[in-house]
Amino acid sequence: MADVVEQSSDPPIEPSGGGSTGLRARFRRYRELDLTEEELATVLLFPVVMFLLTVSFYPIVDTVWGSLHTGYVLEHETKQFVGLQNYEQILNSGRFWNALTVSLIYTFVSVPIELVIGIGMALLLNRAFKGKYFIQAAILFPWALPTVINARIWAWMFHGEYGVINDMLVKIGILESPYPFLAVPDAALASMLFVTIWKTSSFMALIMLAGLSGIPSHLYEAARMDGASKWRQFRDITLPLLKPTILVALIFRTLPAFQAFGLPYGLTGGGPAEATTTLVLYDHKLTFNSLAFGRGSAAATIITLIALLIALIYVGTLYEPEVS
């Protein structure tokens, strides 16, 4: 190891005078490592590709394979081939359909709202002002907050008897007395949506900010000269040029939202009456509480297929090969 370090600290050009033979020999060895681009690419990508094949692709295949078997997580050897029986059970289970509904509502209500709020925040932040970085750090903070810790904080704020949200709503006059937000199915789902929108809008804002900074300012100058209103400028310049960014943001956010786990786990534990049990939480319970390996794998495979479908739909409808 020391040898390598020493070697790499040699000057790249062979000293013309007084170079020791040891140095020259080492330098030659170094030259012998010269590879073609193709070989070098193979050397550099081999570990990465192997790593991904082992840790990302093999498990997917194994999950699909496992979904065709029955057995328990901790007793791998008792697996028995059962064909599509696990899928049949999952698709006939009301709990699966409930979880799917919860996940779809969660994803397709929260992400569009986050996007709109994020664009608004980005438009507000897209200028130079004093203390910009401090304020950005504060605004970005919800995104960096661990989801499950965030969930615990909001569980306390939404508390049915002593929660500060209740107190504020009572003081404003919206509520007459504390409301048990997390104990009523619809209210619990709405609360969960509120928390995730609160947390993730800042992340959306950040991505939108990057997109905004890529729009050349002379377009706005020209529009202003033509007397275009702010709204026209937004509709005809900002929005169309922001489209690629919006696509990236939607994919970035939709797939994680579809896999929500920490928030329902920490906020409500999936309750009440499974009103906030998302697909991943359902699958996790199925796998690790019931230890049903086969059905857990079948559910995971279904989740994967839906996620890929969502990604394909997004890319298919929103992706336009760039003109430039």
Partner 1 sequence: MSTKSRSFEIESFQFVGKKVGFYGSLLILVLVSMFPVIWIFLTSIKQPGSIVQFPVQYLPQNPTLENYRVALGNAPFFRYLINSAIVAGGTAILDVFLGAIAGYALSRLRFRFKLHVLLLILGTAMLPFISRLIPLFSLARSWGLLNNYLGLIIPYAAFQLPFAVWIFQAYFKELPDSLEEAGLMDGLSRIGVLFRIILPVSAPAMATTAIIVFIYAWNEFLFALTFMSQDSMRTITVGIALYGGQFETPWGTISAAVFTSIIPLMLFMLFFQRKVVEGLTAGTGKA
CB of 5 to partner 1, least distance (A): 11
Instruction: Pick one of 99, 111, 182, 207: the residue that binds partner 1 (CB under 8 A).
Output: 207
Instruction: Pick one of 15, 97, 162, 229: the residue that binds partner 1 (CB under 8 A).
Output: 162
> Count of CB atoms within 10 A of residue 52's CB?
11
Which residues from 14-33 bind partner 1, rule CB under 8 A? 14, 30-31, 33
For partner 1, the closer CB: 104 or 139: 139
For partner 1, the closer CB: 189 or 301: 301
CB of 271 to partner 1, least distance (A): 14
CB of 253 to partner 1, least distance (A): 12
Instruction: Pick one of 87, 154, 179, 181: the residue that binds partner 1 (CB under 8 A).
Output: 154
For partner 1, the closer CB: 187 or 307: 307
In contact, 281 and 270? CB cutoff 8 Å:
yes
**96 scored as a contact of partner 1 (CB under 8 A):** no
**313 scored as a contact of partner 1 (CB under 8 A):** no
For partner 1, the closer CB: 189 or 284: 284
Spell out, one character per residue from 110 to 129, where the chain touches partner 1: x when CB under 8 A holds, - when not.
-----------x--x----x
Spell out, one character per residue from 231 to 270, where the chain touches partner 1: x when CB under 8 A holds, - when not.
-------------xx--xx-----x--xx-xx--xx----
Stretch that binds partner 1, among 81-89, 93-101, 179-187, 302-310 (CB under 8 A): 302-310
Rg of the chain over all Cα atoms, to the nearest angstrom: 27
Binding residues with partner 1: total (CB under 8 A):
107
Stretch that binds partner 1, among 81-89, 92-100, 203-211, 231-239 (CB under 8 A): 203-211
- Is the Cα dihedral 9, 11, 13, 17 positive or negative? negative
End-to-end CA distance of the chain: 47
**291 scored as a contact of partner 1 (CB under 8 A):** no
Check residue 79 and give left, alpha or beta (phi > 0: left; psi -120 to 50: alpha). Answer: beta
**185 scored as a contact of partner 1 (CB under 8 A):** no
Which residues from 57-76 bind partner 1, rule CB under 8 A? 57-60, 62-63, 66, 73-74, 76
**52 scored as a contact of partner 1 (CB under 8 A):** yes
Instruction: Pick one of 15, 19, 214, 216: the residue that binds partner 1 (CB under 8 A).
Output: 214
Instruction: Pick one of 84, 210, 239, 313: the residue that binds partner 1 (CB under 8 A).
Output: 210
CB of 287 to partner 1, least distance (A): 6
In contact, 111 and 252? CB cutoff 8 Å:
no
Instruction: Give the C-alpha separation, 178 to 232, whole Å.
Output: 45
